[in-house]
Structure 1
Amino acid sequence: MTQSDRRHSRRSRDERGWVGRALASLLVLALVSAGVAAWRLDLVEPWYDHFFADSPTAPTSPADVAPPPGLELAPVAAPPAVDTAVTPPGALDPALVQQALAPLLADESLGRHVVAAVSDLTAAADARPLVSVGDGAAVPASTTKLLTTTAALAALGPETRFTTRVVSTGPGRIVLVGGGDPYLASAPASRSTYPERADVVTLAEQTAAALQQQGRTKVRLGYDDSMFSEPAFNPAWPAHYLPEDVVSSITALWVDEGRAEQGSPVRSEDPALAAAQTYADALVAQGIRVVGTPTRGVASGGTDLASVQSAPLREIVQHVLEVSDNEAAEVLSHQVGFAVSGTASFEAGAAAVLSTLQGLGVPLEGVQLFDGSGLSRQNRITPAALVGVLRAAVDPSRPQLDAVAQGLPVAGWSGSLTNRFDLAYPQARGLVRAKTGTLSNVSSLAGIAVDQQGHLMLFALMADRIADIDETKAQHALDAAAGALAACSCGAVAATPNSTG
């Protein structure tokens, strides 16, 4: 396995008015989202709640709390309005956009195949791009996840949750049924974990309570992972990915994304069996004797005993994009396949993602898809397709897709862009949101940038023939290119009428 592929693997674990809405999303959403997440996680629980929880005259805000004796405070005054409503800043000048990008995309470190597109976010979907560089498609790496997550939200809906069930199928037998929850956990997560995780310990507690109500304290355990079809390992991936723990086998039933234990890079040889055994151990801890070892089979009929549900899809999508989660992206692709065709496989998932995006009006000429994560080097995606997906995702008539823009990492601040944009154009930090894509000899970046005049641009920058020694330089070059868009004052200058004296 090459050094860059290892780097990608690590990153993937660590990795609507019209203009007004999009601009607010870009500039403010990062902070707002962080604040909302913090409130949801009780990280910034109002301190005064603890002191006045039982008081009938509890204050309604910190400003209502009297200061300690002897401390004089200035009266609280309403702050002035921050700004007026955002208005469109005018047209973009393609020549200025080209001027900003051209020298950076000509960087020799990017290699012999560079393709790119930049479009005005406010323009019609069929409008000519502001800039188009190169021809054809390129290996997209993890920018593939933009296609997968957008299709998942469109096909399934943002509030969809994935359910893991336990059913009683006969005297003395229960079956653990996988529902394709990408983040099912082996144990309850800490309060700081986001998105929330369902877990098999909680499921075992519910199961034990139901069994004990029936007077049952001994069971045989089966497990059903049949929702997803074989193969569990994508034939379009390099064979060494599995033994070298680059990616887990993809199954409808696992815990901790198929890892041997929480936080471990080591993948289970049989994630479904490992999940069943973890669940069995949790049952035993609840006083239920499990006879024998868990056996694989399809649960037909039976009575539900217990169930747990994942976080809503919109939260899963945000996390997948922020950290570039390969395994979860593959599960989402399978879920799209199941929703569209009734078959959850790599092939069905890829086909369903493309058909769903076609229905959204995304231009797909030249696009070939073999997985949902971008690990396959057989994938080919055009800059026009990536820009088309982004345009669909921020379309105010499609609020169900909002999580895509919300999940994009912020340059120099979050997710897979936390440690990037630290060289050229530092003013781009916070003004670019983008999905990264990295494999050995491949680098891509696709997202949204706002220039110094408030123009919003969709962009896709791709290079897939990078020399080994130039990989880091190439990444910096793409960062600089996206940064140049944010640093640019790319608005067209209004013509001044000639003076007639």
Structure 2
Amino acid sequence: MVSLIIFSILSLDTILNVPELKNAHYGICFLDLKNDSIIYDYNSEKLFVPASNMKIITTAASFYFLGKEFRYKTNFYLRGTIKDRKLYGDIILQGGGDPYFNLENLERFADKIISMGINEITGGLLIIDDYFTDERLPAGWSWHYLDAKYAPEISALSFNKNVVSVRMRPTNAGELANVYIYPSTGYVKLINRMTTTTNSENIIIYRKPEENTIIVDGMINIKNARDIDVAVKDPAMFAGEYLKERLNARNIKVSNPVARIRTYELFLRQKQPVLIDSVLSPNLLEIIKETNTESENLYAEILLKTLGAYRYKEGSFNAGLNAVKEFLNICRVDTQNISLWDGSGLSKHNLISPAVLIAVLKFIYNSNLYYDFYNSLPQPGKGTLKARFNGFSDTLRAKTGALQASSCLSGYIKINGQDYAFSMLFNNFVCPIKKIMQIQERIIRAFYEEMRRTNVDNTELLKPVEVIQQ
């Protein structure tokens, strides 16, 4: 039998005794990393929906298994014979998982064809995206937001963050607004029913399920202009179609429709493919920093599938989650008592505890990954902490997380040369989420003040309130 003494910081009890939390579910844990001692614990073993705090686990596992210098690669092949400015064969675009692959990269590939003197491709433009499996959305994502920019489809051949920008410009009152898509492409159909008004605006945008038809309806105020990103269906095909359109714009004819093939099919013909160009992504350090700082769901899910491909030779969500569980086992987390559904935290089926996040933060702290991981987390005044924790930019790094009835914050705080890990997961509240964020900030400030007042053992500030037999 082991006795675990839980301490309570007096001021925190007052902060938590508020009407907003009367029926809410929350868990909080603060750990002294130097002494490996719990400073404050409330419901730290209970399960919560972590929202984007899930990214802490996904990015930590990615650092651990892939290394900070890991990069993705997108390849551009030519297969066939060039004669009289015609390519008797195919051009092939092969994705390797790069979440940064963009318009500029495709323009570069188009320029490469021009530089080779080709003005017609008698075969086709082929795309390969089988580094990841065909499933493009994690289980557990809700259908009603699958056209939103924060829920794009996941592909080994991503392009333009797998979205298009719907750009709405007012005209004269009562007339149809000027609405167009950027980048301009025939791959996405636009139906514009939006009018211009001098009154309050009401903007309605949605993509038809399983189609690339975007409906724009409602009214836009005559003094406003709006840009809203919408996720596209089948990002790899989007990349292929856009490249074909750019080649056509340069008077390069592509005879056949864009088609998808598998990697093994590259080498089935007698004429072998020739790699004519490739693009490397930024390194993993930069990718993870943006994933955490800006809470990029696309990047997190790509990292998850990459973990599956790297550890289990299968770029699936399930294999990625198995790799994450493997990492959590290394962090001494019992993965039998948690529920993992995605890498970003967008699924409300994820269930983890503050203790799980503390275990990951502790493991990273005691490894050679700490410096890079610490600096990947949002800093007050930047990213998702842009308007929070004024005055803490030198002492706090924390990952935010927000879904309906879920607000979470976990990370590190430095006080008088001492390092602490913390995790605060709040679920099932009905008040505005801003109220919960204010409570989180009051907790951090109270903890900081309590710890700052002394350089002696922390327990002099604390009182034991409960003893649990385990």
Q: For residues 259-278 of structure 1, what are the structure 2 equivalents within 5 Å?
A: 259-261=163-165, 264-278=228-242
Residue 112 of structure 1 and its aligned partner are, at CA, apart by 2.6
| Alignment pair present for 1:418 and 2:386 | yes
The change in CA–CA distance for 1:141 and 1:457 in structure 2 (over 3 A counts) is: same
Residues 105 and 478 in structure 1, CA contact (< 8 A), matched pair in contact too: no
SS in 2 for 1:384: helix
The change in CA–CA distance for 1:429 and 1:107 in structure 2 (over 3 A counts) is: farther
- Equivalent residue for 2:445, pick from 472, 483, 488: 483
Q: Which amino acid aligns with 2:414?
A: V
**How many pairs were matched up?**
377
Residues 432 and 486 in structure 1, CA contact (< 8 A), matched pair in contact too: no
- The structure with the greater share of residues assigned to strand is 2
- Note the residue ranges of structure 1 that are not aligned, 5 or more in a row: 1-92, 188-198, 497-501
Q: For residues 244-323 of structure 1, what are the structure 2 equivalents within 5 Å?
A: 244-261=148-165, 264-285=228-249, 288-299=252-263, 300-301=266-267, 302-323=273-294
Q: For residues 455-494 of structure 1, what are the structure 2 equivalents within 5 Å?
A: 455-467=418-430, 469-489=431-451, 491=454, 493=456
Q: For residues 151-230 of structure 1, what are the structure 2 equivalents within 5 Å?
A: 151-170=61-80, 171-187=88-104, 199-209=105-115, 211-212=116-117, 217-219=120-122, 220-230=124-134
Q: TM-score, normalised by structure 2?
A: 0.74
Number of the residue aligned with 1:120: 32
The change in CA–CA distance for 1:493 and 1:156 in structure 2 (over 3 A counts) is: closer
Q: Which amino acid aligns with 1:181?
A: D
Residue 181 of structure 1 and its aligned partner are, at CA, apart by 0.5
Residue 255 of structure 1 and its aligned partner are, at CA, apart by 1.1
Distance 1:182 1:102 in 2: 44
Residue 303 of structure 1 and its aligned partner are, at CA, apart by 2.6
The change in CA–CA distance for 1:120 and 1:162 in structure 2 (over 3 A counts) is: same
Distance 2:322 2:145 in 1: 23
Number of the residue aligned with 2:376: 407
Residue 492 of structure 1 and its aligned partner are, at CA, apart by 6.1
Distance 1:218 1:101 in 2: 69
The change in CA–CA distance for 1:417 and 1:362 in structure 2 (over 3 A counts) is: same
SS in 2 for 1:489: helix
Number of the residue aligned with 1:131: 40
Residue 280 of structure 1 and its aligned partner are, at CA, apart by 2.2
Distance 2:335 2:443 in 1: 25
Residues 363 and 384 in structure 1, CA contact (< 8 A), matched pair in contact too: no
SS in 1 for 2:244: helix
Distance 1:269 1:205 in 2: 27
Residue 277 of structure 1 and its aligned partner are, at CA, apart by 1.6
Distance 1:325 1:245 in 2: 10
Distance 2:378 2:150 in 1: 22
Residue 237 of structure 1 and its aligned partner are, at CA, apart by 0.9
Which segment drifts farther, 487-496 or 293-302? Answer: 487-496
Number of the residue aligned with 1:56: none
Question: Aligned Cα RMSD in Å?
Answer: 2.6
SS in 2 for 1:457: strand
The change in CA–CA distance for 1:207 and 1:103 in structure 2 (over 3 A counts) is: farther
Q: For residues 17-166 of structure 1, what are the structure 2 equivalents within 5 Å?
A: 95=7, 98-110=9-21, 111-123=23-35, 127-134=36-43, 135-166=45-76
Residue 286 of structure 1 and its aligned partner are, at CA, apart by 5.3
- Note the residue ranges of structure 2 that are not aligned, 5 or more in a row: 81-87, 166-181, 183-226, 268-272, 461-470
| Alignment pair present for 1:434 and 2:398 | yes
Residue 363 of structure 1 and its aligned partner are, at CA, apart by 5.6
Q: Which amino acid aligns with 1:138?
A: F
Distance 1:475 1:366 in 2: 28
Residue 484 of structure 1 and its aligned partner are, at CA, apart by 2.1
Q: TM-score, normalised by structure 1?
A: 0.70
Q: How big is each residue's C-alpha offset from its partner over 1:14-61, in whole Å with a ceiling of 9 and x where there is no partner?
A: xxxxxxxxxxxxxxxxxxxxxxxxxxxxxxxxxxxxxxxxxxxxxxxx
Distance 2:357 2:113 in 1: 45
Identity between Structure 1 and Structure 2 (%): 28
Q: How big is each residue's C-alpha offset from its partner over 1:150-177, in whole Å with a ceiling of 9 and x where there is no partner?
A: 1111111111110011123444112111
The change in CA–CA distance for 1:393 and 1:223 in structure 2 (over 3 A counts) is: same
Residue 247 of structure 1 and its aligned partner are, at CA, apart by 0.8
